[in-house]
Amino acid sequence: MSYLAVNPLVAFFKKNGMRVFDVQEVESHGGSIRVFTEKSSGEHPLNKNVARFLEKETSHGLNRLATYKKFSEKIENNKRILVRLLKRLKADGNKIIGYGAPAKGNTLLNYFGIGPELIDYIVDDSKLKQELYTPGTHIRINSTNKLKDDGANYVLILAWNFADKIIENHSYLKKKGVKFIIPVPVPRIVN
């Protein structure tokens, strides 16, 4: 569930002659918000969801700089742990495959500095992404069929909001001794 956006959006739209008249929670990407806006002179009634979201953001401290500094520290710690883990696994001769090429996964790869020296390749179910390379890190994206007989030791799940389903759908890999790495919120290895 995400509450990270309504307060700044309300201020932004107000400054630009618009107003937020409704906010909804949506399931996409593990929990997001949809914000409805119109010109300040618009006729939509103000939905009580706007006040509810603003109140939740305030109660979670999302109106304080310290909250974002603490969040930044968590990300930096996660980065150190994950990169150290991947480097150790590679140094031990392991083959590490990435699973999924979503935007959030590519953001993680780029910000954490994880490239083809740590990830042998990535697989994705989408034919539109296969035979291409990840932006910035230039890791090849293949069909998930490549996983079946490739001898991977670890699979780094880059679509971590679907980790349970990915692991369930590829349980045959676990039988071969392949382990899954879920990078967020804290890196962990799943046997």
Average pLDDT score, the chain? 93
Same domain, 169 and 95: yes
Contact partners, residue 155, CB within 8 Å, separation at least 6: 96, 97, 98, 99, 147, 170, 173, 178, 179, 180, 181
Same domain, 103 and 175: yes
> Domain ends where: 63, 95, 111?
63
* One-letter identity of residue 103: A
Number of residues assigned to the chain: 191
Same domain, 56 and 83: no
Residue 1 pLDDT greater than 50, yes or no = no
Model confidence pLDDT, tens digit, residues 60-117: 898 889 999 999 999 999 999 999 999 999 999 999 999 999 999 999 999 999 999 9
Query: What is the domain range of residue 94?
Result: 74-190
Same domain, 123 and 47: no
Q: Rounded CA gap, 187 and 156, in Å?
A: 10
* One-letter identity of residue 66: A
What pLDDT sits at residue 5?
Answer: 61
CATH of the domain at 121: 3.40.50.720
> Domain ends where: 63, 83, 103?
63
What pLDDT sits at residue 7?
Answer: 79
Residue 4 pLDDT greater than 90, yes or no = no
